Chain A
Amino acid sequence: MTDTDVTAPAAGTPAASPEPPAPGGARGRRLPRWAAPAAALAAALSLPFSTLHPPGLFEGALNSPPTLHLLAFCLVFGGLATSYDLLYGRVGLLSFGHALYFACGAYTAALLMRLLELPLLWAAPLAVAGGTLLSLLLGAVSLRVNGIALAMVTLAFAQAGSILVSRDPGRTTGGEEGLSLDTSLVPAAFVGVANTVNLYWAALAYAVVAVGLVWWLTASPVGRVWQGIRANEQRVAVLGVNPYPYKLAAFTVGGGLASLGGVAYLLVTGGVTPAITTAEFTLTLLVMVALGGAGSRWGPLLGAVLYTYADHRLLQLGGSDVFAALPAWLAAPLSQPLFVLGVLFVLMVFFAPGGLAALPGRVRSALRDRKGPRV
């Protein structure tokens, strides 16, 4: 594997090292392993009660509806990226079809509510079950091949789904317009601007479920096999463990978490459009994961939150008068979030291959190298 993977296990396999360094970079001091997650969760839980207004970061105070909505959005993508990382970073499966399961969750829930008039509380579990089943079926077929062929098969299945949705069979999926959430079927606690904080809770719950499940599975014996498959699949097979069921399990869990994310997305955005079915969407997921650090503990969550935040914020800034002061040739590209993020991403692939999660370690080792000629 590449040199970037050398740094990853420190964060990716906390159980392997006797004294795991806290991901915050607290070198030397011994913090219990649950300290960093607990602190992050406490911060996330206290956010809606804060009236702080960090200048420039958000449009309003932390507990104002627009800010909470943006944060909820970030968290949904954080959970989704974590579910993608389960395939890409933990097992090493390069799937280009993750958007399919996300869209399957969102569209199935929206369709069940629209056609059968099921309340959201019933539609959601059915949609998640459907998405999980779909990922199990398609995973069983696609995982018969490896590497680039796997990427292509998953891409092809997702493309078929995307075409199906945008062609609007029987005028059910709404074509390019997408579907909007029927608010009469949603619990009242999630309706209205005043209740944005509840959307935030829902998104946070999803992110916690996704991250928690992935961490728990990675630390379990199954996670050990996944790690082995990522490092060398042939060797795992030679040791007498058939990799196929383990890969399929990862694929199914990833797909199930993605369809749960689809339901959360439907709730947070109040609708669904074909944009989330496209291959481009899966590519942005890949960018999020690689940005944060594939296979690392916090990387995917961090990368997705930062990416989504930057995407929204740049779009807002692009319309504001901040950019009016810049010359036109500079303002036009900078007002395109995808341009800025794409270029940043390419630069990151060059200069920080392990993603954001590997940065503290890189900085630390660079400092160590400077202090003494040999370590």
Chain B
Amino acid sequence: MSTVLLLAVTGLGLGALYFLIASGLSLIFGLMDVLNFAHGAFLAIGAYGTWWAADHLPGAGPAGFGFAVAVAFGVAAGTLAAALVELCVIRPLYGRHREQILATVGLSLAVPALLQAVWGADPLPFPKPGLVRGAVSFLGVNIPRDRFLLILAAAAVFAALWLFNSRTRYGLIVRAGVQDRAMVTALGIDVRRSFTLVFAIGGAAAALAGSLGGLYFGVVTPTQGLSLLIFAFIVVVIGGTTSLTGCAIASVAVGLIQQFANYYTVAGLGDIAVVIVLALVLLTRQGGLTARKSAERVA
């Protein structure tokens, strides 16, 4: 029983990480049809920003309130990077989906290489504040504290995104744009303005995932982003791009499947199980998720 609980919480923590990445990814894909390979780069920027700020930024530090400042700095850096990418790279290629994908692929190779050039390829130890260090006893099980932080952060982001989506004017435009972009444009609303916003939100969530992922893994590396990104893609495809809730459910499912299968069968089989789930979902519920829409738009 205690193992199951530990696995469940750890799986939820991993799912939370996936949700932070996938929520932005699915918003971007849903609204703009951009398969954003640069999302892993935003994550890496967030992780390195936090790591750097914890050491160098005045007011920030590796523990306590200073760490929160460091995370805020990392998230700000990721947000800025995402907004810049949208304005400078994605926007000029508007309407040319293949080129947009290619441009983000180029960025996804260049940004980690740049980080590697500055800070080296070796994993860097990530600061761990006292608050999330060690484990907490929960129903007789020792569970690492950083898992709870991840789950809390993901829940907060979920709530914030949900409020944004349902209570604000821009959220309405974004939701309508996901449903039918042409119609929104025809009604005289400039959807493109919300593109930057969506990119910035996605970048912020990814950067937060980078900072908290640093806690989860204990280290930051330049290529951390891409491996997480692939699972985030899987989450987006399973969860669909039209609903935030679908994305959250898929994240949790993927995280749990991965943890449980990795523990109870051979290590590594969990990751493969997720892939199999994805293949099954795509092949059996063809078009039920993202397939139908993307098939005709991206060519």
A residues neighboring B (CB under 8 Å): 1-2, 4, 92, 94, 141-142, 144-149, 151-153, 155-157, 159-160, 163-164, 167, 169, 279-280, 283-284, 286-287, 290, 332-333, 335-339, 341-343, 345-346, 349-350, 353
Contact = CB atoms under 8 A, between A and B. Distances in A.
Interface stretch (B162-170, B193-201, B282-290): B282-290
B105 interface: yes
Contact of A152 (B99, B111, B278): B278
Interface stretch (B67-75, B90-98, B174-182, B204-212): B90-98
B283 A332 contact: no
Contacts of A343: 106, 110
Contact of B286 (A149, A151, A287, A339): A149
Question: Which of A1, A4, A142, A290 has the largest count of B CB atoms less than 10 A from its CB?
Answer: A290
Interface string B93-136: 10010110111011111111110111000000000000000000
Closest 4 CB pairs of A and B: A342-B110, A167-B268, A338-B113, A339-B113
A339 B117 contact: yes
Interface stretch (B137-145, B152-160, B269-277): B269-277
Contact of A279 (B29, B93, B230, B268): B230
Given A152-B237, A160-B276, A339-B110, A146 B291 contact: yes
A283 B282 contact: no
A308 B61 CA distance: 43
B83 interface: no
A290 B114 contact: no
B283 A336 contact: no
Interface of B: 29, 35, 37, 89, 92-93, 96, 98-99, 101-103, 105-114, 116-118, 223, 226, 230, 233-234, 237, 266-268, 271-272, 275-276, 278-279, 282-283, 286, 290-291, 294-299
Nearest to A141: B283
B113 A346 contact: no
Nearest to A331: B117
A93 B46 CA distance: 33
Given A339-B113, A346-B110, A283 B234 contact: no
Contacts of A4: 99
Nearest to B223: A280
Nearest to A92: B299
Contacts of A336: 113-114, 116-117
Contacts of B89: 346
A336 B115 CA distance: 10
Contacts of A159: 230, 271, 275
Given A280-B226, A287-B109, A153 B283 contact: yes
Contacts, number: 146
A283 B29 CA distance: 19
B283 A350 contact: no
Contacts of A142: 279
Given A286-B102, A339-B114, A157 B279 contact: yes
Contacts of B117: 332-333, 335-336, 339
10 contacts: A144-B286, A145-B282, A147-B291, A147-B295, A148-B298, A152-B233, A153-B279, A156-B234, A287-B106, A338-B113
Contacts of A149: 237, 282, 286, 290-291, 294-295
A230 B29 CA distance: 23
A333 B233 CA distance: 29
B99 A145 contact: no
A279 B226 contact: yes
Nearest to A151: B35
A349 B99 contact: yes
Given A149-B294, A346-B106, A156 B278 contact: yes
B258 to A, nearest CB: 11
Nearest to B35: A148
A220 B298 CA distance: 27
Contacts of B298: 94, 147-148
A182 B102 CA distance: 38
A220 B105 CA distance: 33
B102 A290 contact: yes
Contacts of B237: 149, 152
Given A148-B298, A280-B226, A338-B113, A346 B268 contact: no
B259 to A, nearest CB: 15
B147 to A, nearest CB: 23
Nearest to B109: A342
Nearest to A290: B102
B279 A141 contact: yes
A86 B214 CA distance: 40
Given A2-B99, A151-B35, A279-B230, A163 B272 contact: yes
Given A156-B275, A338-B113, A349 B230 contact: no
A146 B230 CA distance: 19
Contacts of A332: 117-118
A153 B278 contact: yes
A337 B109 CA distance: 10
A313 to B, nearest CB: 16
A350 B93 contact: yes
Contact of A286 (B105, B107, B266): B105
Contacts of B226: 279-280
A157 B275 contact: yes
